[in-house]
Structure 1
Amino acid sequence: MEGLPKFPGFEFRDPTKNTFHRNSTLKFKNGYSFPKLPEVGIGGDPLHFNQLSDAELDELANFNPTLTYGQAKQAPPQDFVPAHVAWDKKVLRFNAYFQQTVHESPNEYFRVRPVDIYYYLEDDSIAVIEPHVENSGMPQGKLIKRQRLPKNDQGDNWHWKDINLGMNITFYGKVFHVINCDKFTSDFLESEGIEVNPSEQLPSDPYIKRREESAALRTYKTPSSFDKLKQFMELDRKVLRFFCVWDDRDNMFGEMRPFVIHYYLVDDTLEIREVHSPNDGRDPFPVLIGRHKVPKDRYRVNSSFPSCVMELSDHELGEYYTPKDFMVGKTMYIYGRRFLIYDCDNFTKAFYYQHFGITEFTPVEVKGQAKELAKMEIPPYNHFGSMEDSLQSCLSLVPQPPKKDFIKMLENDHKVLRFEAIMDSVRPEDRGRRFVIAYRLADDMITIYEPPVRNSGIIGGKFLERTRVAKPGCPPDEPVFYGPQDFHIGAVIEVFKHRFIIINADAYVLKYIEEHKDQFPEQTIESLRQTLGKQQPPKELIKGGPMKVHRSDGDLNTLVQQIRAQLKKIAITDRSRVDEMFLRYDRDRSGFIDASNMRDMCRKLQLPVDDDVILALVQQCTTNPEGKISLEDFRKFVESS
């Protein structure tokens, strides 16, 4: 039945079918309708779909009806459309510029003038138009009217196939450089099979740029708070020290030579010193590069700079080396020389840790590292002159005098500790010989004197001149000398192979030791107390003891005036002695002296030291309620009339 043609009378209707509605092809989702292909036909009849395989679909896709049914009938040609109709109002737009030379102007050498090149596809004509710039002072607008422009002497004209980005085109002797085009032009050229070059930027006009910079708002930079004065006050005498080698092995006869780089933080300068070794065969020039600010690139200077008549300044050199540029293991190029930093000192490590937080300072092993200098051996003391003088002759070719502690000499001037000693010797004639050992606190020198004994056969007198005595067994380069702590009852002092045993001391030794208990061991103090306590005479029998004298009215003022007159005589003869006297008794360096110091000063000058005289003297010197006398008050009191 299904294969019969659809003619009248050949159709059969199913009498049982009573639904003939068409299914809806719309569905609703979220309140919106959308189309849907029907799944069943009219009356609910199923629709038969043509299910084809992939091979059948490929065959249908490659089906060529001309092979089966022959050549199709050729379609009639389209109507002719002239060029002025097809390309009407279709224009290619290129952005370009040309440079105009400016003569006899100190402000500019050339100008950059942008233009727009319009190519009309209708008749292959070209127009060049320069956009108007307000207050430019130059005639602008249409530079070349719309026309066909000749390309060469053979009569060819410029065509759109000859124009592309990044090329120079010449119109009537003027060269234009094409830098960009619009989207229509780019799409048209690509549709015609022309690959469009990448676009370029319009170069800046130096004169316009200078005018914009001069017209722009000026900004000012606040100078850094870390000025040069603060840098000098905080970083003076602080130097970074780097150990490096100059690797010059690329050149003929080159080698690795050790150097030391000193970077001075006070003014950001550096110097490079050569490390010499004994018998290295080089001239004794210690400095390779003198101390100055070193630029990072000395030769990066414009070729137009007149170096033959002008010196380089900070503007030409640019950046200089700073502490950030130095690091262990880094190679530095200084004036064309290649320096490898392989280590640094402890101060440099601490500086980088505090300011940059760097903790890794692993030394770099380098070949040809600087050799260690041979240790200088100090010869034994030859007993000519003092040991310090002999040591100075070993340290330098021209001996320098040994340094002295002048503060110690001023504080301990005329202070001498005297001890009684006997000689300890294996010779019978030397046993029992008594000596007086005088120890000077000002310069730690010892003098030994032997009192003469009648009919002893030994000439007494000075046994040892004033000199410093080293302890036996100490090295000659680091001698250890006898000090006041080594002298106590029963101590054995060896002086140049002679042994002396301390058996007694004077009363001043015990007084001095008790005033400076923190400097002496308890055993020394106790031995002197036990020995000197038994021999000390009664206080009332001591020669030169205090004596009470009855005074009349006005004697106190007279004594004070006489003391002032004596002090003034000292100031007139030598004003520096006033300061020395004050500093001598200002032992703790507090800047003040008290009544006890004034009493010692008067006793030293053979002046009255009664309590009422000292009290009146202090009251006239200062107004301090505690009785403290400053250096200025002492000067005014001495120098005033």
Structure 2
Amino acid sequence: MSSPPGRGRPFLPGSALRDATKTSFHRSQTLDYRNGCAFFRLPTVGIGGEQLHVNQLSEAELDELSSIRPTLTYGQAKRAPPSDFIPAYVAFDKKILKFDAYFQEDVPLSAEEHYRIRQVGIYYYLEDDSMSVMEPVVPNSGLPQGKLIRRQRVPKNEHGDHFHWKDLNRGMNITMYGRTYRIVDCDPFTQVFLQSQGIELNPPEKMVFDPYTELRRMPLRKYITPSDFDQLKQFLTYDKQVLRFYAIWDDTNSMFGEKRPYIIHYYLADDTVEVREIHEHNDGRDPFPVLIKRQRLPKTFVDKKTTFPSCVLEISDQEVLEWYTAKDFAVGKSTTLLGRPFFIYDCDEFTRNFYRDKFGITDFQPVDIRKKPLEEVPQVLQVIPPYNGFGFLEDSLQNCFSLLPKPPRKDVIKMLENDHKVLRYQVALESPNPEDRKRRFILSYFLSNDMISIYEPPVRNSGIIGGKYLGKTRVPKPGSTTENATYYEPSDLTIGSTVEVFGHRFVITDADEYVLNYMESNAESFPAATLQSLRDHFRPRDSPIPETRKQELDELIVQVQEELKLHNYLNNRNIQEKFHQRDQDGSGILDKGEFLALCNSLNVPTSNVLVNKLIGLCSCGENKINYGDFLRAFPS
């Protein structure tokens, strides 16, 4: 079989020959309708009715073969198992979007700033869609910084919606709780996350800073005019030239203070001052000679408060108005260096020559600082506080004399010699109350320790409970003070005398015979008046009245009459009738108890000192009263 012309030859330029005998070039029909539906069929012949020698496949069959080829090669593919479900709060745990923002607030009533810029950080927590606003701490801002909005879901509008991360972007304003924040930038994680979610980010903006804070960070401008003084020339001229002054610090006014010697060095090269302490052998002080190191010392401050502590003041040219110079040091004058006064009493020869040549000063007479003899210090009297009434006065005073009080010293010899020796007296209470005037007491004086006790004998149906009235104690006299305390002694206890015991007055009406016997045996220790008072009290009633006693009785009667007239006592007729009625035998003598009871019933002022003394002079024998002499004071 012969092949068609040109078949099998390559289509090379100049070698493709056209079949001149071929006249049909139509294509075969591949599109047709069948049962009213359009369909496509593969061509069976080629162009011009040529026979097709290869199997032709449709595009769908070719696509199916391309997809089936891996399956035919490797087998049927297995579908991967679905991934596990991960909740959002686990997937986004600890994933936070951070935006840099700022807000502006007004500053009223301020001349230096009208508004304030405050930088904040807005944090969005992806796990629960909550937000928080934090303000970084700015030192010395005076503002309550830190957490401005705590972590929470921030409401977006009035409909109850909340802010979502889709609502946040750079270069936008966001209003939270009435405050508008301007978002300017975000961190790299936030940028990657938002871009991965298909959000187109706005370009970042430049952060705005607070103008007043930036102004404070700028250093203060100093307007200093350069001085005409040449410090280099001063250094070259006065290098290694030092003025030496000898001074003392007098601290004797304080407790344990003393005078301590010092040397003041003034360096002419740079106007600095150094103070050194002079140590003596075995002075007991630490071996640190430098009291003030070499430095410039301020003389006058610009505006220093007296209450400001100088130890924490950082001295600079702004705080000091004037510094110490060589003109401020002179012999015989005091200089205050850093709050401590120094008295300059001498200087060396170089210092004298310098002041003579530089300032024309020639008076360098040294001052004698030797210790002066101690002056007699006036004795300071110790102020004793008032007695509080607790315990004995001598025992309480020991608390004022010593930190560890000691018991007062006792007269042991007196206690041994007068042990169990007691002087007993009968006393009556001097009171405006008639019932109290009838009360009788026993006053006991203990010679061993000069203490007094008072006992009231119980009287039946008197309505008064008897017993101990005053315990053993020392009784001070009226007018006695804590500094000069005086107490009652046996010489003060006479018949008819008044004893004031802590505000209560008692009149001595009787005494034991032991009192008279004791005083007569120790007559040199007692006044004659005290002894005579007891002798007159115990004189027998039938003994004649001495002339001196009669004269004393007449004078006393006159005084009693004047006293009674002064008190308007006019019951003279009634008193004489009562006494004569009571004296049934007409002896002119009554028992002392009966006599006092009758006087009390007649309201005779027996508590009066003069009346009591008259009763004592009218006594005759023990417990007997010659009322005839007594009635002479009450003429009818």
TM-score (norm 1): 0.28
Rg larger in 1 or in 2? 2
